[in-house]
Amino acid sequence: MAITTATTQGATRAIYSSAGNALGVFIVATTAVAGLGLVLKTSALAFGLVKVAGAAYLIYLGVQTWRRAAREGAAPGAAAAPLVLRASRRATFRAGLLIGVSNPKAILFFTAVFPQFMPADRIDIARFLMLTSMFTACTLLSHLFHVVGAAWLKRRVKQSVARARLARRGVGLLFMGMGGALLTVK
């Protein structure tokens, strides 16, 4: 999502989706430590519901991206116009947040990893905040590298509307494929 947002809306706007995703990671870590991870680990129904919700959201994003690609360049003479589809900062942040919190694999990751570093008899808030902050910082750093790379590539490669449409459709298919793949997680 960081790459898609950087190439379609600009690097500055992609920072909002990355911040939303980082907050989603923090929320997932908190819910995992608070017990939701254990519920998802032991309840096939709960895991299935979160998994289907996450997959549905990824598929929805893929379909929306595919549809936007179909509308691009529809106007005559639009072949040379740069395509920038600006969502509001709030909408961009919310999209990143929804992707961050709708990933059941992240909840299971935190459920599996955090107990190894936390006392078994209590929740150590300081340790929890340190681990979560480090993971969130790594998430933001990773997104920053993706955003900078995508922005650099966008400046270097002048695309025609047809190539941009093809790239956007590819991203749409990728999101739909990730949503479909998420449905196969057990």
**CB-CB neighbours of 129 under 10 Å:** 13
Question: 158 or 139, which is more confident?
Answer: 139
pLDDT in tens, 118-128: 776 777 888 88
Question: 9 or 37, which is more confident?
Answer: 9
Helices (H) and strands (E) in the chain, counts: 8, 0
Q: How many domains does the chain have?
A: 1
> What was the pLDDT predicted at 73?
55
Residue span of the structural domain in which 165 resides: 2-183
- pTM score, whole prediction: 0.65
Per-residue burial over 47-64, b = 16 or more CB atoms within 10 Å of its CB, e = otherwise = beebbeebbebbbebbee
